[in-house]
Amino acid sequence: MDFETLSNCFLGIFEDIKSEHQEVFVIHSLQNDIDKFLDFLERNMTLDEWHVSFNGLGFDGQITQYIIQAADQLREMSGQDIAEWIYGKAQNIIDRQNTGEFLEFSERTMSINQVDVFKLNHWDNPAKRSSLKWIQYSMDWSNIKDMPIHHGSEIKTLNQIEEIKSYCSNDVKSTKRIMQLSKNQIALRKTLTEEYGINLFSASEPRISKELFLHFLSNRTGIKKYDLRQMRTHRTHIVVKDILLDYIKFETAPFKLLLEKFKDVIVYPDQTKNGFKYSVQYKGVKTDFGLGGIHGARQKKVFESNNDMIIMTSDVTSFYPNLAIRNKWAPAHLPKTEFCHLYEWFFDERRKISKKDIRNYVYKIILNSTYGLSNDKNSFLYDPEFTMRITINGQLSLAMLYEMITERIPGAIPLMQNTDGLETVIPREYQEEYMKICAEWEKITNLELEHDTYQKIIIGDVNNYIAIQSPKLLSPDKVEEMKAENPHYLYYENESGTSYCATKCKGRFEFHNLALHKNKSFLIVPKAIYHYFVHGIEPKTFMAQNRNIFDYCGGVKIKGEWEYVEHFVDRETNHYKKDPLQHTIRYYMSNKGSKIIKENVLDGRQIQVQSGKWLQTVFINYEEKHINEYDLNYDYYLEAVEKEINGLEPRVNQLKLF
């Protein structure tokens, strides 16, 4: 469902989740469907029908509740007066949100139950914030057109109303598509809601974690949920030397100095962004430390295992949760024994059950989110010292392993260290010694490591890489399932059967199952790079085979005092012209296109969306035609791919690691 609220016109469209049947309601001086609309809402309540929306809890559901509560009054009013009344309510909702006030109706006070896919997917979080237009772009929706009429405009004709209907219907259908893509997540929340009696239908993963941990902790401690929710530990400062684990020790000068630097740090919880930064140069790698996690990688290059050398990768099992569990840490305001037992119980229970079991995923959410919530002032888990104990000791613990491996294995070459694991090239003859060192580290830290080997790793930097695991044999009954779920993996057929090499893509090399809030611009580039390094397909060949126009598209969105304009040459007059564009734009690089410019409405500053000679074609509405008819400028995409490949593995006189 979706509403459009204009100064003198209201429109609501609802589409059945199992069919394309729509109910459309217009309230205007030319058409007043208020009786029909109120009867429909009454049916929703009587039959316990739910509304699925994008930001319904924050807007559409609020409007619905206002209308339900004023039903008798509205039936006596004219279409003009009702539309103006609804518009006033809509502006009040927006003003409340802009000033940080609570909205009038909470989820539990709404007469009609909601599934809000905006909240559910955590797109209200600053790091993931996304509009419906951006999600439409991300899921390759055919029409990502903005509202054609400003909400403050006066609607005078039925043609204008039909234009708004077309726009609103498109938003409803795309919201329905998001619901379908979120089907498993909705099913999970339904199960949890029924099992624990907590309405989690529109809950983000952090909120699920918070609510369930609260539920279990309340049961264990006997403290009422309301009282737990009020608890926090606020700190003016944290002295790092007082929270360091006793086992943190180093053998080499660079890491000894690192430890001394940390011992001098005092953390002020309200100033953590640049609270501490320090880098260690060691064995050809610059590794950065701070108040978050460890990050380090060799300069961009391709590394391969061979007969003499092997790439080892080791990750700490559930690293941050286990640091707290093994060291009996808890937020200071919570009962320590009960918190630690409960946290460990979630970890142990998760290990017992299959990854296909819904509880496995739930426990994973709880384990990972609890650490993050300890640094959230709005959470009952808030205690920044608990957070710092985990992040600082975690970095130093991993740095110990890094040092132990590279100092004690002759010829070891560190590749990457990142938050909870590391990758190292070692001589194959020392593989057993590597495992012994890791076991020794596990004994010191009381943590566990998970190991694998890579046959190749393509490193752009610590956050951008492609890793190809060593081959693993597949059981015959799993071959088709694996190929269907992961068609991009490497597969080998031999006398023993079918083997596969799983691949991991991070950062700018990601292209498979990208989260919808991420920017998927020019997906053809990471796809071509991947197929070159993994499957040995030349970029030009790959592009000739890829007929998906959406893979060639980029997306941009505007905010603040800026707008997009299109600069182009009018073919009839041969003069430059410019047209305003909408806030969210999809486009591709073309031979005979235009220039998309970002202009500041206050001072006139201009920034090209794509600098240089390249031209763009705006692609708001999908047109089905042969790929050659789109006028794609393949040179742009090939240049981007070749630049990345040559930076990693020069095509001429290629360098070899071994």
Domain that includes residue 119, residue range: 2-196
What are phi and psi for residue 538, nearest 5 degrees?
A: -65, 140
| Residues 186-202 pLDDT 10s | 999 999 999 999 999 99
Task: Please indicate, yes or no, if residue 343 is contained in any of the structural domains.
Answer: no
Lowest mean pLDDT segment, chosen from 322-326, 418-422, 569-573, 647-651: 569-573
pLDDT, one tens digit per residue, over 332-379 is 999 999 999 999 999 999 999 998 888 899 999 999 899 889 999 999
Return the amino acid letter for 100.
Answer: G
* Structure token pair of residue 153: 């405009």
Query: Which 3 state secondary structure label does DSSP give 23?
Result: strand
| pLDDT exceeds cutoff 50 at 562 | yes
At residue 53, the pLDDT reads 98
Region 561-568 average pLDDT:
93
Mean pLDDT for all residues in the chain: 94
Predicted local confidence at residue 339, as pLDDT: 95
pTM (predicted TM-score): 0.92
CATH number at residue 191: 3.30.420
Task: For residues 364 and 345, give the distance between their C-alpha atoms in angstroms, rounded to a whole number.
Answer: 12
528 within a domain of the structure (yes/no):
yes
Q: Report the pLDDT averaged over residues 213-228.
A: 95
Q: Which residues contact 101 (CB under 8 A, 6 or more apart)?
A: none
The answer to whether residue 429 is domain-embedded is: no
Would you place residue 656 in the very low, low, confident or very high pLDDT band (cuts 50, 70, 90)? very low
Position 476 pLDDT exceeds 60 = yes
- What pLDDT is attached to residue 658? 32
Residues with Cβ within 8 Å of 571's Cβ and at least 6 positions away in sequence, in order, are: none
Report the pLDDT value the prediction gives residue 460, as an integer from 0 to 100.
95
pLDDT of residue 414: 97
pLDDT in tens, 70-91: 999 999 999 999 999 999 999 9
Question: Given this model, what pLDDT does residue 651 score?
Answer: 64
Over the stretch 575-609, which tens digit does the pLDDT of each residue have? 778 899 999 999 999 999 999 999 999 999 999 99
Indicate whether 308 belongs to any domain: no
Domain boundary among 166, 196, 226: 196
**Average pLDDT of span 296-311:** 96
* Domain annotation covers residue 53: yes
Q: Which pLDDT score is estimated for 653? A: 39
- Overall average pLDDT of the 54-60 stretch: 97
On whether residue 360 sits in a domain, the answer given is no
Domain-terminating residue out of 140, 161, 196: 196
Structural domain includes residue 494: no
Q: How far apart are CA 52 and CA 204, in angstroms?
A: 15
Mean pLDDT over 291-297 rounds to 93
Tell me what the mean pLDDT of segment 550-560 comes to. Answer: 95
How confident is residue 525, by pLDDT bands cut at 50, 70 and 90? very high
Between strands 114-116 and 51-53, the pairing is parallel
Q: What is the pLDDT of residue 636?
A: 97
Residue 469 lies in a domain: no
pLDDT-derived band of residue 516, with 50, 70 and 90 as boundaries?
Answer: very high
Please report, to the nearest 10 degrees, the dihedral formed by the alpha carbons of residues 478, 483, 484, 488 taken in order.
150
pLDDT in tens, 174-184: 999 999 999 99
The b-or-e profile of 139-155 (16+ CB within 10 A means b, else e) is: ebbeebeebebeeeeeb
pLDDT tier at 654 (50, 70, 90 boundaries)? very low
Cβ atoms of residues 226 and 246 within 8 Å: no
- Token duo for residue 173: 């259908």
Please give the tally of structural domains in the chain. 2
Of 168, 196, 224, at which residue does a domain stop?
196
